[in-house]
């Protein structure tokens, strides 16, 4: 049996290619790496300090709670003290805080789901011409 080599087609997405002929299929648990982790706990003082800071910035208690929990989770997973992370957040000018927060939270995210980054994958020219305007 003769195998035909096809030319390499550029990947039109930001997802990596999967070799469907591989003996061992790729493991999917890396995409759910945060789902099965144990819950993270911090003292109520740390939680209150972060919630208060983000409530001052966001002027919304629910948003502040969500941001605080995401920052606490990311800080602990990265081996950073959450209070040290809060001190760094306080040093950032108000106009740069959104960018810094997105950068900080991206430390713990998979490359296909970064926050605050526009990812426009290159379309395959054959798919583009087959779609009617």
Q: What is the pLDDT of residues 87-122, one digit of tens each?
A: 999 999 988 888 888 889 888 776 666 777 666 667
Q: Identify whether 39 is part of a domain.
A: no
Tokens of 120: 């426009």
pLDDT at 22 over 60: yes
Q: Identify whether 125 is part of a domain.
A: no
pTM over 0.85: no
Q: Identify whether 36 is part of a domain.
A: no
Q: Identify whether 63 is part of a domain.
A: yes
State which residues form the domain around 80: 44-113
| Residue pair 68/86 in contact by the 8 Å Cβ criterion | no
pLDDT at 76 over 60: yes
**For residue 15, what pLDDT band results from cuts at 50, 70 and 90?**
low
Q: Identify whether 58 is part of a domain.
A: yes
pLDDT at 20 over 70: no
Q: How far is CA 51 from CA 23, 79, 91, 99, 131, in A?
A: 49, 20, 17, 19, 48
CA pair distance 54, 89, nearest whole angstrom: 10
Of 111 and 9, the one with more pLDDT: 111
Q: Identify whether 17 is part of a domain.
A: no
Q: Identify whether 35 is part of a domain.
A: no
Q: Identify whether 11 is part of a domain.
A: no
Residue 103: Cβ within 10 Å count: 14
Torsion of CA 59, 103, 123, 132, to 10 degrees: 0
- Number of domains composing the chain: 1
| Residue pair 115/100 in contact by the 8 Å Cβ criterion | no
Positive or negative: CA dihedral 36, 37, 43, 47: negative
Element (H, E) at 98: helix 97-106
**For residue 46, what pLDDT band results from cuts at 50, 70 and 90?**
very high
């Amino acid at each position: 049996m003769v195998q035909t080599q096809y030319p390499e087609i550029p990947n039109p997405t930001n997802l990596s290619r999967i070799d469907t002929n591989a003996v061992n299929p790729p493991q999917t648990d890396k995409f759910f790496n945060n789902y099965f982790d144990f819950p993270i706990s911090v003292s109520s003082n740390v939680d209150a300090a972060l919630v208060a800071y983000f409530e001052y910035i966001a002027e919304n208690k629910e948003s502040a709670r969500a941001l605080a929990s995401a920052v606490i989770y990311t800080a602990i997973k990265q081996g950073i003290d959450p209070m040290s992370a809060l001190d760094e957040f306080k040093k950032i000018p108000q106009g740069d805080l959104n960018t810094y927060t997105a950068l900080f939270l991206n430390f713990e995210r998979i490359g296909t789901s970064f926050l605050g980054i526009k990812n426009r994958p290159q379309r395959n020219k054959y798919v583009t011409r087959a779609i009617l305007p």
